[in-house]
């Protein structure tokens, strides 16, 4: 199971590298973020809550991460995440979205409907 999660999150190349610290170089910030998510996935949860999982990631890494989460969701897991400024490509990957403005629901449904 661990190897599967490592592969899913694109961590294979750094699987045997120390995470590091402020004084010891280790894996990148994006890899650290994915390791944190991997730790939460190891127990095979049915529901995964992710708060700003793409913050601090470059656009390519963010897209890869969201695609990995879609693959996880396809395996019978429910994922909920907050993303404040997704790219259009990432936005269109979501099955359903909830848009909140001033603390109220503005829209709930498929991404395409929010643009109307």
Structure tokens at 99: 């848009």
What's the Cα-to-Cα distance from 92 to each of 26, 29, 112, rounded to whole Å?
A: 34, 26, 8
Under a CB-based contact definition with an 8 Å cutoff, are residues 80 and 49 in contact? Answer: yes
Tell me the average pLDDT across 55-69: 89
Q: Which domains does the chain have, with CATH numbers?
A: 2-114 (3.40.50.300)
pTM: 0.78
Q: Report how far residue 70's alpha carbon sits from residue 10's, in angstroms, rounded to the nearest whole number.
A: 14
Average model confidence (pLDDT) for the chain?
89
- pLDDT of amino acid 51: 93
Please name every residue paired with 51 in a beta bridge, in sequence order, or none if there are none.
82
- pLDDT tens-digit series, residues 3-26: 888 888 888 898 888 888 888 888
């Amino acid at each position: 199971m661990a190897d599967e999660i490592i592969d899913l999150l694109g961590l294979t190349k750094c699987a045997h590298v120390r995470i590091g610290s402020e004084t010891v170089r280790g894996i990148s910030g994006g890899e650290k973020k994915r390791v944190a998510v991997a730790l939460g996935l190891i127990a095979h949860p049915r529901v995964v809550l992710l708060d700003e999982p793409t913050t601090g990631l470059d656009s390519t890494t963010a897209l890869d991460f969201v695609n990995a989460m879609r693959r996880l969701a396809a395996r019978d897991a429910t994922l909920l995440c907050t993303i404040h400024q997704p790219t259009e490509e990432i936005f269109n990957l979501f099955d359903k979205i909830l848009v909140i403005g001033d603390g109220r629901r503005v829209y709930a449904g498929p991404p395409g409907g929010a643009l109307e």
